[in-house]
């Protein structure tokens, strides 16, 4: 069961009480051994609510963007997004990615052209110095934009891991009215999320488990 799986991977472990956000109190079961223990019964209930929303959104042909740039989340974010043919940002959120979309779209277009040039082996004909410069710029763009290189417009739903780390992404979504789904640890603010799942967002396995569940729901429609 998903509930038992989360316990095994530490999905119930929050932060030390001194680091908590008071508005997370309803989702905390107790304090044990110097850390808050999240109420996974509620986590499971909220996950199911989120999955219902995701299912409805997918049926309406909504697009999803997975976001999580901290090391504990980066791999799982990319893996989950790829598994359900969605988009992802897992290295660094570039300020204005959504609120200044027209500008960023030009950078994505440049990456697409560079990928085409490489596929057609045109880059092999360039002088050594220019070829090196091309490769560095292509690698840089691919690192930050590779997960959204086929994204044609702003996403409809953004799934966020790491509320504090992704504050800029969250604020941009708010400005544009884009719905967000956030994995909330005990140091997060539930008032800043549209939809959320209380869970340890520092556990690699817990993050992977939740994102895999959401990706599976997207794939089922």
Q: Domain of 129: which CATH number?
A: 1.10.287
Contacts of 188 (CB under 8 A, 6+ apart): 21, 24, 163, 164, 182, 196, 201
Distance of CA 125 to the CA centre of its chain: 38
| Cβ neighbour number for residue 181 with a 10 Å cutoff | 24
Q: Are residues 114 and 205 in the same domain?
A: no
**pLDDT on residue 215:** 97
Cβ pair 200, 185 in contact under 8 A: yes
Q: What is the pTM of this model?
A: 0.93
Q: Are residues 160 and 132 in the same domain?
A: no
Tell me how far apart the alpha carbons of residues 142 and 16 are, in angstroms, rounded to a whole number: 37
Q: Look up the domain containing 120 and give its range.
A: 101-146
Q: Are residues 212 and 164 in the same domain?
A: yes
What is the DSSP code (8-state) at residue 156? S
Q: Are residues 111 and 79 in the same domain?
A: no
- Cα torsion through 177, 213, 1, 161, rounded to 10: -60
Q: Are residues 18 and 82 in the same domain?
A: yes
**pLDDT on residue 130:** 86
- Domain count across the chain: 2
Establish how many alpha carbons lie within 13 A of residue 174's alpha carbon, considering only the half-sphere containing its beta carbon.
Answer: 11
- Both tokens of 214, joined, read 């959401």
Bridge partners (DSSP) listed for residue 36:
31
**pLDDT on residue 129:** 85
Which phi-psi region, left, alpha or beta, contains residue 177 (left: φ > 0; alpha: ψ -120 to 50)? Answer: left
Tell me how far apart the alpha carbons of residues 27 and 125 are, in angstroms, rounded to a whole number: 60
Q: Are residues 86 and 134 in the same domain?
A: no
Q: Are residues 78 and 165 in the same domain?
A: yes
* Cα angle, residue 139 at apex, residues 136 and 140 outer, rounded to 5°: 85
Alpha helices in 40-155 (DSSP H): 40-59, 71-83, 101-119, 128-145
**pLDDT on residue 1:** 58
Encode pLDDT of 55-105 as tens digits.
999 999 999 999 999 999 999 999 999 999 999 999 999 989 999 999 999
Q: Helices 204-220 and 71-83: crossing angle, nearest 10°?
A: 20
Which portions of the chain are predicted below pLDDT 70? Answer: 1-3, 221
Q: Among 83, 115, 146, which residue terminates a domain?
A: 146
């Amino acid at each position: 069961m998903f509930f038992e799986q989360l316990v095994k991977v530490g999905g119930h472990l929050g932060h030390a009480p001194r680091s908590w956000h008071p508005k997370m109190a309803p989702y905390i079961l107790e304090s044990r051994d110097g850390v808050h223990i999240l109420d996974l019964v509620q986590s499971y209930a909220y996950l199911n609510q989120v999955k219902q929303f995701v299912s409805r959104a997918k049926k309406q042909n909504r697009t999803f963007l997975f976001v999580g740039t901290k090391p504990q989340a980066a791999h799982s974010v990319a893996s989950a997004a790829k598994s359900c043919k969605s988009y992802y940002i897992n290295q660094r959120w570039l300020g204005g990615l959504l609120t200044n979309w027209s500008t960023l779209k030009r950078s994505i277009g440049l990456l697409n052209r560079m990928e085409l040039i490489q596929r057609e082996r045109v880059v092999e004909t360039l002088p050594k110095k220019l070829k090196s410069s091309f490769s560095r710029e292509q690698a840089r763009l691919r690192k930050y934009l590779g997960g959204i290189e086929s994204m044609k417009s702003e996403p409809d739903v953004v799934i966020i891991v790491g509320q504090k780390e992704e504050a800029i992404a969250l604020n941009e979504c708010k400005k544009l009215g884009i719905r967000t789904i956030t994995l909330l640890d005990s140091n997060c603010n539930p008032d800043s999320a549209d939809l959320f799942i209380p869970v340890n967002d520092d556990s690699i396995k817990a993050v992977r488990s939740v994102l895999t569940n959401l990706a599976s729901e997207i794939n089922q429609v």
